[in-house]
Amino acid sequence: MSSTYGTLFKISTFGESHGAAIGVIIDGCPAGLEVDTQFIQSELDRRKPGQSRITTQRREKDEFQVLSGIFEGKTEGTPISLVIWNEDQRSKDYSHISQQFRPSHADYTYQQKYGVRDYRGGGRSSARETAARVAAGALAKLLLKQQGVQIQAYVSQVGKLKLETPYQQLDISKAEENAVRCPDPELAQQMFDYIDETRKQGDSIGGIVSCVVTGTPVGWGEPVFDKLHAELGKAMLSINAVKGFEYGSGFAGVELHGSEHNDEFYIEPGDETGRVRTRTNHSGGIQGGISNGEDIYFRVAFKPVATIMQDQDSVDVDGNPVVVSGKGRHDPCVVPRAVPIVEAMTALVLADFYLRNKVAKV
């Protein structure tokens, strides 16, 4: 089972939903980086459960502990190990599905692939694993901050409720002012009410997280198989419940002619740096798999959470028909807590390409 991501800035996550702990080992982070532990904790707080009534009510502080690689507030250039201890497991909530396969979960595929599975909250397939990614992503954000790169994600859709306003016209920072993490306060309240009503019905709903990256310099990414957008897509699709990824004009771009879609180049009058810009940005800041200096923007689609509080038909490990009853504590909609996860995976991709680009220029 591969639990490692990255080429130079590498992470390996470990742990299960109801095990003793989850954590991450970060290898390749340059020495001398000042580590803001309060910032790392604040990122984990954005993802942790129990934030409001529209998220899982599992109570985890998600406080992290540094085991290695950081000394006197700075990275040492050696492997960094961070651990988050699990404190609020209720494994008995899952005993009824120890021999059953939950619809649209990883139960069946894990059982068939490995011959064994941890049924307590999904074990390794649980989204709880993403807390380790957020911790590592926070460190990557600190590294990228030195390069002037900023990453901001927000909820742009829940069910059929869509935020139509282009990101350039939004104050994305307002997303952190409400439980849904949508920067439009009025729409955010509608989304909240819709998710809450869905929860009361014992059901779930999907949504979309949009992400904008500013300050990325020209040249990050590789021209063939490791294209920047390909790695971003891989990173996003590795997140639990993700069903789709599009960057730039995405699928809507097929409706345009080339004369409409092409991003014409120009140099701003009076710009002494001679920086090449594009008048439009249908490319989403990436051309030929390499960043072009414009904003990188993309959208990530999340399915409705598979666990619902309703009875569903399924089969058990012996192939007998059974009725699976929903129990446990789960998000009726994953996107509010997915925002920091999308940001973290984006940061990990960009931190890796930042280091790879430095090596390529040596």
Residue 305 is assigned to a ligand binding site: yes
Distances (CA, A) of 233 to 18, 142, 192: 29, 22, 28
Residue 307 is assigned to a ligand binding site: yes
Find the angle CA(220)-CA(163)-CA(289) to the nearest 5 degrees: 15
Residue 53 is assigned to a ligand binding site: yes
Distances (CA, A) of 152 to 209, 236, 294, 320: 10, 15, 15, 47
With contact defined as beta carbons under 8 Å apart, do 13 and 107 qualify? Answer: no
With contact defined as beta carbons under 8 Å apart, do 191 and 180 qualify? Answer: yes
Residue 198 is assigned to a ligand binding site: no
Angle between helices 37-47 and 130-145 (to 10 degrees): 140
Residue 329 is assigned to a ligand binding site: yes
Token match 């507030």: residue? 73
For residues 55 and 334, give the distance between their C-alpha atoms in angstroms, rounded to a whole number.
8
DSSP calls for 294-360: SPEEEEEEEPPPS--SS-EEEEBTTS-EEEEPP-S---S--HHHHHHHHHHHHHHHHHHHHHHHHHH
Contacts for 92-98 with beta carbons within 8 Å, 24 or more apart?
A: 93/121, 93/327, 93/328, 93/329, 94/18, 94/119, 94/120, 94/121, 94/327, 94/328, 96/325, 96/327, 97/324
- Across-strand partners of 21? 85
Three-state secondary structure call for residue 13: strand
For residues 44 and 345, give the distance between their C-alpha atoms in angstroms, rounded to a whole number.
13
Residue 75 is assigned to a ligand binding site: no
With contact defined as beta carbons under 8 Å apart, do 179 and 52 qualify? Answer: yes
Residue 249 is assigned to a ligand binding site: no
Q: Between β-strands 150-158 and 207-214, what pairing exists: parallel, antiparallel or unpaired?
A: antiparallel
Residue 124 is assigned to a ligand binding site: yes
Interacting residues of 327 by C-beta distance below 8 A, sequence separation 6+: 93, 94, 96, 309
Residue 214 is assigned to a ligand binding site: no
Residue 306 is assigned to a ligand binding site: yes
Residues forming the annotated binding site for FMN?
124-126, 240-241, 288, 303-307, 329
Residues forming the annotated binding site?
47, 53, 124-126, 240-241, 288, 303-307, 329
Residues forming the annotated binding site for NADP(+)?
47, 53
